[in-house]
Amino acid sequence: MKVSRGYVRRLTLTREQAAALDVQGHAARAMWNLLHEWWTWGGRRRRPTLKQADEAIRQARKDIPWLADLPAQAAQQVLKTYMGAWKNFFEGRARPPEFKSRVRSRMAVDVPQGRDLDVRRLSRHVGRVRIPKVGVVRFRWSGPIPGVGRESGRVSGARLVTDALGWHVVFRTEQERPDPTPHPGPAVGIDRGVHVPLALSDGNDQRHGPWLRPKEAERLLRLERKAARQNRARKPFERTSNRLHRTYDQIAGLRARAKRRRYDWQHKTTTKIADEYGLVVTEKLRLANMIYSAKGTVEAPGKNVRQKSGLNRVMLDEAHGRTVDLLEYKLAERGGRLLPVPAAGTSQTCSRCGHRDPASRSGIKFSCTSCGWVGHADTNAALNILNAAGLGRVRTWSPAPVGCEASTTRRAA
């Protein structure tokens, strides 16, 4: 079995190297925008070929000198990524490609050939990589990389990306592993929520604290208020001041730190679950619909808009979709399986008797109005998710609204 993974490492750049990477990042973004304008010019009747697009890129690198600062292979990778974006759109997986904003988009430069990187480990915490037109750059060695040193596998390429904390390198690696044997672990149902991030049907709930420490959260609030004051002082259509830009950068740095801590917790938690359980049952959630704004329209304004806005922020902060993606590939590597089931009624149905009544749930407490069973609402939902897969107390009925005859349940064999 061939396993492809990405390993992110933080680069340690000099001032000259950081400036050179910034130039390449802006050139890659400009190349994307020029390609998109050239590709969409003339409407749907014009269908250029891949060969014509390649010739257009080569000519643009000759006509515009600063586009030549981007390595030729990186420019070809921009074309490949752009074509992949259109393919994803035609197959219904994503929106059509758009122009990349200088402010909102993240700068990225591809190094498609792994042989050009010459990745080596220098010491316990320091490694080095060779970047085209930048030179030898050191990075923080925070873990082994397949294909480097004594590690089996190979580095097939890399992607240089930036965020509020600086430039990073993402190594693309390939590694041959034996096909996994079926995981002998038990089955578990997982309910993703806000009060309990991951509630497991066996009671082994996975929780976390705030992503920011108290002093960091206090500083973030102070910076957000400062940015609001500076923005109010700015006249309409006036250019953003350097001070306001600096405040925005400080806010982005704190949020990026919280994002990294969330990602670290998700990786560690999903690895622990994948090691322990052979089958994980989750509910199919339409997250895009769940975080939809309740503002409404002018003719029909929404209700509890501020409360719904706060709930949406908390749900986005949990990143439940990424948790499922991490679980899916980690379970597959270990011989486990992820099974999604419909989510309708899991939070309103009693896992003991199967009676469904919205009045049974009150906040985080679930008290069945039929059999009187009392428990945590998230644990009850996790048990119902496991039941829906036929692995716990299996329903023998279709969920019915309140007032219909209650059904019976049986134990799975």
| pLDDT tens-digit series, residues 132-145 | 999 999 999 999 99
Least confident of 118-132, 213-227, 232-246, 279-293: 279-293
For residue 320, what pLDDT is reported? 84
Give catalytic residues, as residue numbers. 191, 283, 378
Structure tokens at 385: 């998710």
Which residue intervals of 91-168 are DSSP H helices?
A: none
Residue 20 has pLDDT above 50, yes or no: yes
pLDDT, average across residues 298-320: 75
pLDDT, average across residues 133-162: 93
For residue 1, what pLDDT is reported? 82
Looking only at the bridges linking them, the beta strands covering 279-284 and 337-342 are parallel
Instruction: Determine whether 132 is exposed, middle or buried from the number of CB atoms within 10 Å of its CB (0-12, 13-18, 19+).
Output: middle
CB count, 10 Å around CB of 319? Answer: 18
Q: For the segment 69-110, what is each residue's pLDDT rounded down to a tens digit?
A: 999 999 999 999 999 999 999 999 889 999 999 888 889 999
Residue 290 has pLDDT above 70, yes or no: no
Question: Residues 6 or more apart from 411 whose CB is under 8 A from it?
Answer: 393, 394
For residue 170, what pLDDT is reported? 95
Q: Phi and psi of 386, rounded to 5°?
A: -65, -40
- Residue 297's pLDDT band, with cuts at 50, 70 and 90, is low
Q: Which residues pair with 171 in a beta bridge?
A: 7, 158
Give the up-direction half-sphere exposure of residue 315: CA atoms within 13 A in the CB hemisphere: 18
Phi-psi label, residue 390: left if phi above 0, alpha if psi -120 to 50, beta otherwise: left
Produce one character per residue of 13-50: b if its CB has 16 or more CB atoms within 10 Å, e if not: beeebbebbebbbbbbbbbbbbbbebbeeeeeeeeeee
pTM of the shown model:
0.82
Closest CA to 64 of 30, 36, 92, 33: 30
- Distance between CA atoms of residues 66 and 227, nearest Å: 34
- Distance between CA atoms of residues 220 and 243, nearest Å: 16
Question: Residues 6 or more apart from 220 whose CB is under 8 A from it?
Answer: 212, 251, 254, 255
| Inter-residue contact 396 to 408 (CB < 8 Å) | yes
- Distance between CA atoms of residues 275 and 173, nearest Å: 22
pLDDT, average across residues 99-126: 91
For residue 134, what pLDDT is reported? 94
| Inter-residue contact 356 to 399 (CB < 8 Å) | yes
Closest CA to 352 of 375, 330, 334, 333: 375
Q: For the segment 359-391, what is each residue's pLDDT rounded down to a tens digit?
A: 888 888 888 888 888 888 888 888 888 888 876
Q: Which amino acid is at 168?
A: H
pLDDT, average across residues 22-30: 95
For residue 362, what pLDDT is reported? 83
- Distance between CA atoms of residues 327 and 277, nearest Å: 11
Percentage of residues of the chain with pLDDT beyond 90: 54
